[in-house]
Structure 1
Amino acid sequence: MSIQILVVEDDARLQDMVCKFLRKEGWLVDACIDGKLALERFYENKYDLIILDIMLPGINGQELLRELRKIHDTPVLMMTALSDDDNQLRAFEGQTDDYVTKPFSMSILVKRTEALLRRSGVLKKEIQAGKLILYPETYGAEYDGEKILLTPKEFEILELFVRNAGKIVPHETFLTRIWGYDFEGNEGIIHASIKKLRDKLPEKLIRTVKGVGYYLEANNNKE
């Protein structure tokens, strides 16, 4: 069953970026920038999760959350620039499931989304590419039954590889997804991190596409 997510965000650039990274996880993503249209989507569709901004034209996110709770118990992640306690308390009193404030790392947003999807039972607790198995809930990893000790950042990089096994992951994707869309560093940090990760994995499992990015061998079952 495909996981379906609705993103309600009136900043077109941020909405596009969030949708892009969620789709890279293999999830189906619907989006709108208007509170009134979002309310129509609530009644017309059954989503597995909703990412909801508070400051929206027409109907704000707090009101949308109250309307949604009249018809669904769908997990909701509030995504907003309003970081004060009052707004957060109102959101949780309205039965939001989580709350993230802007600016945020795309990797953190995806992790929080995964956590809510696992909690609701629609997302498996492990992901796999050949002999490589990852356990996002505990940051655990193993290859052919052998445990691999990873730092949190190394795990996030490897998870991005596994979810895109056999596909090239561009340098830009690593920077925005792992280090955040407002990261001001360069590609050097990617190369150094990949080198450390390679030292912990079987030889040639991660391949380089010069000038573009890297990819994980999708078929790593071969001896």
Structure 2
Amino acid sequence: MNKNQTILIVEDDVINRVALCRFLSKQGHVVHPAKDGDEALEIYAKNKFDLIIMDLVMPGIDGAETARKMRFISNSTDGDYPPIILITAVDHRAQNLEKIFRAGVDRIVQKPIEHAQLLECMYELLMPQNHN
């Protein structure tokens, strides 16, 4: 995985958002924060990202619906879209996983986020042979 990947962080909790942005910035990545799905869609429509890390449960549209809308935007433009990691404090086994993955989510990471697990997941998704 290269440094200087451009990552969109979508997290409604300001403390979690700032902590995740700081951690990934220290790893050498360019990070764009968004506080909710609507703001994320605005930013996404104007920028190219290598990866999106997004909370599942947010006010307004949730992470799965935001992912679905991002895929729609990508398909109506250049068809190229970045992998999406959904982060959630909710036990994802209780979630409708089929709906989440059908929306375009590539991986789910449980909160509290373990940095090593997140980096491993990012590495898997951003390896050249896996990149869309």
TM bucket (normalised to shorter chain) is: 0.7 to 0.9
Q: 1:120 aligns with which of 116, 128, 131?
A: 131
- For 1:12-23, what aligned pairs fall within 5 Å after superposition? 12-23=14-25
Q: Could you state the TM-score of these two structures normalised by the residue count of structure 1?
A: 0.51
- Superposed CA offset, 1:122-151 (max 9, x none): xxxxxxxxxxxxxxxxxxxxxxxxxxxxxx
Partner Cα distance (2:96, 2:18) in 1: 25
Distance 1:101 1:89 in 2: 17
Bigger proportion of residues as helix: 2
Deviation at 1:82, TM superposition (A): 2.1
Partner secondary structure for residue 58 of structure 1:
coil
Q: What are structure 2's unaligned runs of at least 5 residues?
A: 75-80
How far apart are 1:15 and its partner, in Å? 1.2
**Of 24, 29, 32, which residue of structure 1 is paired with 2:31?**
29
Match of 2:90 in 1: 82
Deviation at 1:104, TM superposition (A): 2.6
The residue that corresponds to 1:212 in the other structure is none
1:145-184 alignment runs, 5 A limit: none
Would you say the 8 A contact 2:92–2:110 is kept in 1? no
Greater relative CO, 1 or 2 (CA 8 Å, sep 6+): 2
Q: Aligned partner of 2:87: which letter?
A: M
Q: CA offsets, 1:4-59, max 9 Å, x none?
A: 00000011111111111111221100101122111101111111100011111222
Write the distance in 1 (CA, Å) between the matches of 2:19 and 2:50.
20
Question: What residue in structure 1 maps to residue 77 of structure 2?
Answer: none
**SS where residue 96 of structure 2 aligns?**
helix
TM-score in terms of structure 2 length: 0.83
Cα RMSD, aligned residues only: 1.7
Aligned to 1:97: 106
After the TM superposition, which residues 204-223 of structure 1 pair with which residues of structure 2 at under 5 Å, given as runs? none
2:68 aligned partner: 66
The alignment of Structure 1 onto Structure 2 pairs a total of residues equal to 121
Aligned residues: percent identity?
36
Shift, 1:84, TM fit: 3.4
Distance in 2 of aligned mates of 1:105 and 1:87: 23
- 1:152-180 Cα distance to aligned partner (Å, 9 max, x none): xxxxxxxxxxxxxxxxxxxxxxxxxxxxx
Q: Report the alpha carbon displacement of residue 113 of structure 1 after superposing the two structures with TM.
A: 1.3
**Greater Rg, structure 1 or structure 2?**
1
Letter of the aligned partner of 2:114 in structure 1?
Answer: S
Q: CA deviation at 1:110?
A: 1.8
Partner of 1:46: 48
